[in-house]
Amino acid sequence: MFQFRMRIPLISLCVVILIVVCITFHRRRSLFDAQVCLGARKSPTDCLQCLGLPVQSYNYTVTSDEREFPLAYSILVYANPERAARLVAAIYRPHNFYCIHVDRKSSLGIVDLIKLYGQCFDSNVFFVPDEQRTAVRWGYFSVLEPELTCTRLLLQRSGKWKYWINLTGQEFPLRTNRELVLALKALNGTNMVQATYKNRNIQRIPPRSANSQNIVWYKGQVHVAVRREFVDYMLNEDKAIRLLDELKEHESRETSHINPDETFFATLNHNPDSPAFFANKFIPQVEPTAYAAMELWLALKCSYESSHQAPHPTFDQDYYARKPIAWDHL
C-alpha cells in the first residue's frame, strides 16, 4: 500500500512534465511555422493564409488615381485578432497607411497574435507603441483617445495621405479602394461626417454655462472619413483643443457615459472655421458565412477592376457627387 501511495505523486509528476514538454514543443513548432510563413511570404494574403487564416486572395491593380490619393486608416482592436487581420487584408494597398491600436486591456496572447499578423504587411501597417496604448472604456473619453493618438502618428508617418478613415476590427469594406478614392474625390473636398441637432441627448453635451466658445453641439456617428486638413485642425487648433477640454470636464461632472466620440467629430465639422463606406460590427460568432461571402464579393470586384480597368458596374460615383455635403462643403 505504501509503495502504491508513493507511485501516485510520481505518476502525477510525470504527467505534469509530459504536459509541459508538449506545450513547449507546440510553442516552438508554432514559432518555427510562423517564421517560415513570414520568411517565405509572397504577399500579405499568402502570409496570412500560411498562418492559417481563411483570407481571400485580392487580385487588385493600383491605378494612378489611387496612388496619387493615398488614404490613412486607424483601426481599434480589442479582441478577435483574426478578424482584424482579415479586415486589413481586405483594405490593404501598399501606398496607404494603417495605424492599429490594441486596447491596453487586451490579453498578451491577443497582442502577440495581432502583431504576428501585422508582420505579414509592409511598414505602412504599424501599431501604436505600448506606452501610448489606452485602456478603452465604452462611452467615455478613452474611446476617442486612441483615435487622436493614431491620427497624430499618421500625420507624422506621411505627409501625402488625403483622407483619414477610422474603423474597428469588426468592420468590413463595402467598396474597393478604387471605389473609395473615386467616391471621396466626388465629394468635392468635403468630409463624410454625419450629424444631427434634433435628436441629441442633452445629458451628453456640456451645459450652456460651460460653453465658453458659443459652440452648437451636434450628435453624429462614430465613424468618419475626413480630409487631412481637418485632422490637422482637430489636433492643433485652439478651438478644437478647447472643445475636447470641455468634453473632458463635462465627463468628469457626469455620473454616466457621455459618448464624446459621437459628439466631437460632428460638432467640430458642423461649426464654422473647420476645413457609408463600411459595414459595421462583424462579430466572429455571428453569421461567419456572411463575412466570408462579403470577402468573396470584394475580391470579385477587385478582380473585375484589374481585368476591365474600370470600377465594377454596381458602383455609382455620381451618388456621392450628388450628396448635399459635396455642394455645401461641410
User: What string of DSSP letters covers 221-286?
Assistant: -S--EEEHHHHHHHHH-HHHHHHHHHHHHHHHH-SS---THHHHHHHHHHSTT----EE----TTS
3-state percent helix, strand, coil for the chain, nearest multiple of 5: 55, 10, 35
pLDDT recorded at residue 79: 94
Sign of CA dihedral 292, 297, 301, 303: positive
Average pLDDT, the chain: 81
Residue 18 belongs to a domain: no
Question: Within a domain: residue 112?
Answer: yes
For residue 144, is it within any domain?
yes
Q: Which domain holds residue 286?
A: 64-192+276-328
Question: Does some domain include residue 33?
Answer: no
**Does 181 fall in a domain?**
yes
Residue 204, pLDDT above cutoff 70:
no
* Number of separate domains in the chain: 1
Burial class, 146, CB count within 10 angstroms (exposed 0-12 / middle 13-18 / buried 19+): buried
Whether the pLDDT of residue 21 is over 50: the answer is: no
Amino acid at site 175 = R
Tell me if 308 is assigned to some domain: yes
pLDDT of 20 strictly over 70: no
For 147, the grid coordinates are: 483615435
Residue 17 in domain: no
Residue with cell 467598396: 175
- pLDDT (tens digit per residue) in 94-146: 999 999 999 999 999 999 999 999 999 999 999 999 999 999 998 888 999 99
CA distance 72 to 228: 9
> How far is 315 from 106, CA to CA, in rounded Å?
38
Q: Establish if 282 belongs to a structural domain.
A: yes
Q: Which residue has the higher pLDDT, 151 or 31?
A: 151
